[in-house]
Amino acid sequence: MFPQTPTISLFIVLASLVLCNGYYIQEPFYKTNVKHYLVHDGRLIKTKHEHFGLLTRANRAIHLSSSRPRGTVSVDDFGAKADGRDDSEAFGKAWNEACSRGAILVVPENKIYRLKPITFSGPCRPNTAFMLYGTIEAWTQMSAYQEDRQHWIVFDRVSNFRVGGGGTFNGKGKKWWQSSCKVNTNHQCNDGPRPKAVTFYQCNNLKVTNLRFKDAPQMHVTFEGCFNVIVSNLVIRAPGDSPNTDGIHVADTQNIVISNTDIGTGDDCISIISGSQNVRATDITCGPGHGISIGSLGADNSEAEVSNVVVNRATLIGTANGVRIKTWQGGSGYARNIKFLNIAMQNVTNPIIVDQYYCDQAKPCQEQDSAVQLSNVLYQNIRGTSASEVAIKFDCSRAVPCRQIYVQDVILEPQGHGGTIATCENVRYVNRGNFFPQCTP
């Protein structure tokens, strides 16, 4: 072992004093990586096969040797009033303290705190936690989001971290929905992005459990660039006509398990996009909403990579889609090794759908000679009723057909009178066991 020089000793002392130096308000770190991503309909889309860059902070250093929790920190002790005024500053101070000690930040029950856009920044000491027992509401004045219209609450690079407590994040999204062109046709579709409610950015070894989310302006919970994530016992609610209010959005995230979660919103209950691998969703209740989706992928001629996704034991009720894979023309890359297992459908429109001609824009999309390759997809033990005549739709790319599609024990009957059919274009599939309705030649 090399002996410590006085210079090295002085550096260690100085570094240990600069512990978890803070939250910040309205300082969007995402801009450092914008060149690698496009924003399409409020979603990050990877343009090249590159991971998010690291955010550097010269004034941040932390010693992570101890993993023992160091007590609790209440936001009230730092001046939070829960009286209708902005409590962001008090929350920031409480976070600095909890982060530097590896403590549990407590948001007391039976109180409603209002926050402007805020980022809770790491790295922190291990076992830092954010326990929400009460309610946090979003600041409703749009002017507060001028510097970053895409985010309300962000947990940035906090590892070995848990968030829970049984409380509620309320995004107060009604005003934002009313300004959307999807709700008010008098608005043009360039009305800009709306804030995601809660974003976890580059968080590793993360647990998010026992929480309620409601009325996000856009997505409710997003995981971007995270690794080793457990999500369980969430309840997520927004009106069925609220635009782009996905329940859980997974982007560029590996090793995530989502379980025992009840989602009803105006968009996808769960959406999984490029860069995501080893995603497992079990015991999910979905409705209203647009179902459980992989995609959209390949927008703006981007490259997509999604693999090893399992959706097991889900119940979908009255949704606009069931289990869906959606890709744009002109994309590239792949979505493969995907399993949809043991799923119950009740009055679901488009129960099983692959749409490689997805086009969520006013201007028609032109067919192109490239597409995301779909392969090795299994649909097994999926049963229930379809609200649409077409219960199974494989609309695959002519240029890059779907291959290795397996259908086993799938029975989808009409919700009312009439029948159901399957339409299967440019797909190579294998039928095992019961399969109704079957593809017509």
pTM of the model: 0.85
To the query of whether residue 267 is one of the catalytic residues in this protein, the response is: yes
pLDDT confidence bin for 4, thresholds 50/70/90: very low
Q: Residue 117's pLDDT is what?
A: 98
Say which DSSP state 288 is in. Answer: S
Cα separation, 196 vs 217, in Å, equals: 6
Q: Are 221 and 283 in contact (CB under 8 A)?
A: no
pLDDT at 141 over 90: yes
- Mean pLDDT confidence for 129-150: 96
Beta bridge partners of 130: 105, 163
pLDDT of res. 361: 85
Q: Given this model, what pLDDT does residue 191 score?
A: 59
Task: Dump pLDDT digits (tens) for 10-60.
Answer: 433 334 433 344 443 433 333 333 333 343 444 443 333 222 222 223 233
DSSP characters for 142-156? Answer: GGGGSS-TTEEEEEE
**61-70, 220-229, 355-364, 412-421: least confident range:** 61-70
pLDDT at position 68: 46
Task: State the Cα–Cα distance between residues 191 and 175, nearest whole angstrom.
Answer: 13
Share of residues in the chain with pLDDT > 90 (%): 76
Distance separating alpha carbons of residues 21 and 163, to the nearest angstrom = 20
Categorize the per-residue pLDDT at 183 as very low, low, confident or very high, splitting at 50, 70 and 90.
low
**Catalytic pick from 262, 268, 290, 355?**
290
Instruction: Report residue 272 as tokens.
Output: 């999984």
| pLDDT value for 180 | 76
DSSP E strand boundaries for 352-420: 352-355, 373-386, 390-395, 402-414
In the predicted model, what is the mean pLDDT of residues 206-220?
98
Residue 290 appears among annotated catalytic residues: yes
Chain segment 371-407, per-residue pLDDT in tens:
999 999 999 999 999 999 999 999 999 999 999 999 9
Assess contact for 295 and 271: CB atoms under 8 A: yes
Q: Please state, rounded to an integer, the average pLDDT across all residues of the chain.
A: 86
* Catalytic, out of 86, 87, 267, 268: 267
Check residue 264 and report its DSSP letter.
E
Strands 292-297 and 254-264: unpaired
Given a contact cutoff of 8 angstroms between Cβ atoms, the answer to whether 313 and 282 are in contact is yes
Q: Which of 53-62, 118-127, 143-152, 270-279 has the lowest mean pLDDT?
A: 53-62
